[in-house]
Structure 1
Amino acid sequence: MTDNALTLFQLCDSQFPTGSFSHSFGMETYIQNDIVVDPETFSDWLKVYLHEQLVYADGLAAKIVYAALDEEDFDRVWEMDRLLTVQNLARESRDGTQRMGKRMLDAVDSIYDIPIISLYMERLRNKESFGHPAIVFTMLGHHLGVDRKTTVVYYLYSTIVALVQNAVRAIPIGQTAGQKVIHQFQGELKEAGDEIMKLDDYEFGVVSPGLEVSQMQHEHVGIRIFSS
């Protein structure tokens, strides 16, 4: 692993201040419905979330944004920011992702001096863009010279780690079980990264209806600890 890849890996820490600990992105609905109840059923849900939503939304968007940054096609970057937001039909998940994007943007801007990050922040202040963590993460990876696939896989990893930590609290499954899930998902992440590299841009936004419905239903669950 190169020094710059290690630098990017800092954003994969579940303690990085993005607010990810407040969001389950529909997982809590499955917990309330007694579908996700232990490490095994959580792993089943996480595989679907990774391969049926993250791959075709955040992951593919990161790939597209990285290529756009290579070509200095910033209009394409802002277009992906818009598409990531409007294709997210669940209000809570959409709003939560925007908050996470803004918090990641603030944190990255406080650590690094990157012109495209500063421009993204200005666009958010002017309400010209929405803000999304996948785009911020990709901007930093590109700036650091981390290759496209590594940047994409690291982003997927950061999302998986955050969801595992939330499952530890919500199901609960225990810290050791959570670490076992992360270990078991190394192969899944590689597979997801390989799949994203093969996808065409037009495949963006293909997601599982079941996940979308659970995210929409979340605001109506009886007792909850997450915002989405």
Structure 2
Amino acid sequence: MEEKVGNEHNLDKSGNFPVTGSVLQWSQWQLLDSILPTGGFAHSFGLEAAIQARFVSKPEDLQAYVINVLENTGSLLLPFVYSTTISPDIETWHKLDRMLDATLTNEIARKASILQGSALMRVAAAVYLEIPSLKPMRSTSLSSGTVSFHHAPIFGLVCGLLGMDAETSQKAYMFITMRDVISAATRLNLVGPLGAAVLQHQVAIVAEDLSRKWMNRSVEEACQTSPLLDTIQGCHAYLFTRLFCS
């Protein structure tokens, strides 16, 4: 008797994976995988401008910079991730997208948020076929012409649809922010790969504290805690040479 191999026994009649807790967990992990083509590695979160401005020049400066980026992420963006995670519907997403678009005054950060959010929504609609609402939500939003596709609300939306709880989704957003800014530091030759791994492990303790500090807040409480970083990132467009988009 011929042994059957492959995943044909795991697919439903439409050729998609069934929506079960165990399968959704694999999708949740994939959302945090650096191989997911959402464009996060094209952005340095202002680090490239900070290096050229001599604001960051050594590993000790880098650690402080990463912590400040995480603090700013927690205070400004986690409320948007939280709100869409607990209410992952198109009305909530569109409302929070408009609010965040009005909140971001740094044009460089604003464009980076839109680029990454648009990429994430495109990838999620194409990959997570077990969530059939993603494709029509994206199509409706594109055709409306009124949605900017900012990253934080879309990340929370996808997390909510994938069954993540609010605490996990917010910590996940802090994790990918920490991962991407430290990766940018490696490519800018500020720290080596091993040093970057050590730094990420050390900062994780601070990231946990910051996550709990800013967790489960409403969007009305969103604020900037590190305006200097926002100013530095705004100078990125004026750099003579640039490796990153922001």
Give the match for residue 108 of structure 1: 124
Give the corresponding residue for 2:4: none
Aligned partner of 1:165: which letter?
A: S
2:134 paired residue among 117, 125, 128? 117
- Tell whether the 8 Å contact from 1:37 to 1:171 is kept in structure 2 after alignment: no
Identity %: 23
> What is the distance in 1 between the residues matched to 2:154 and 2:232?
26
Instruction: State the secondary structure of the residue aligned to 1:146.
Output: coil
Counterpart-to-counterpart distance in 1, 2:25 and 2:225: 29
Aligned residue number for residue 106 of structure 2? 90
Tell me the SS of whatever aligns to 2:191: coil
Q: Deviations 1:119-172 (Å, cap 9, x if unpaired)?
A: 134313431211122223222221222211001101110121111111101143
Tell me if the contact between 2:141 and 2:147 (Cα under 8 Å) persists in the aligned partners.
yes
CA distance in structure 2 between the partners assigned to 1:121 and 1:137 by the alignment? 17
8 Å CA contact 2:82, 2:217 repeated in 1: no
Decide whether the 8 Å contact of 1:165 with 1:178 is kept in 2: yes
Amino acid aligned to 2:202: Q
Q: Which moved further from structure 2: 205-214 or 162-171?
A: 205-214
Q: C-alpha separation between the residues in 2 aligned to 1:10 and 1:132?
A: 20
Q: 1:160 and 2:203 equivalent?
A: no
Q: Find the counterpart in structure 1 of residue 85 from structure 2.
A: 66
Match of 1:197 in 2: 215
Task: Please state which structure has a larger fraction of its residues in helix.
Answer: 1
Structure 2 unaligned spans of 5+: 1-21
Once residues 158 and 4 of structure 1 are traced to their aligned partners in structure 2, the CA distance between those partners, rounded to angstroms, is: 19
Decide which structure has the larger Cα Rg and report it. Answer: 2
Residue 179 of structure 1 deviates from its aligned partner by 0.7
Misfit runs of 4+, over 6 Å: none
> If the length of structure 2 is used for normalisation, what is the TM-score?
0.83
**Between Structure 1 and Structure 2, how many residues are aligned?**
224
| Distance change >3 Å, CA 134–CA 6, structure 1 → 2 | farther
Alignment of 1:200-215 (within 5 A): 200-215=218-233
How far 1:11 moved relative to its partner? 2.1
Matches within 5 A, 1:1-228: 4-51=24-71, 53-69=72-88, 74-113=90-129, 114-118=131-135, 119-197=137-215, 199-228=217-246
Residue by residue over 1:46-88, the C-alpha shift from the partner in whole angstroms, topping out at 9 and shown as x without a partner, is: 101111x20122211111112333xx5x433212111222222
Tell me if structure 1 keeps the 8 A contact 2:80–2:156.
no
1:110 and 1:165 map into 2 onto residues whose CA distance is 26
Q: What is the alpha-carbon distance in structure 2 between the residues aligned to residue 116 and residue 163 of structure 1?
A: 32
Aligned-pair distance for 1:115? 4.4
Which of 153-162 and 207-216 deviates more? 207-216
TM superposition score normalised by structure 1: 0.89
1:116·1:139 contact (CA, 8 Å) conserved in 2? no
Match of 2:9 in 1: none
Deviation at 1:4, TM superposition (A): 3.6
Aligned partner letter, 2:215: M
Letter in structure 1 aligned against 2:118: K
Change (3 A) 1:151 1:3: farther
Matches of 1:122 and 1:212, distance apart in 2: 32
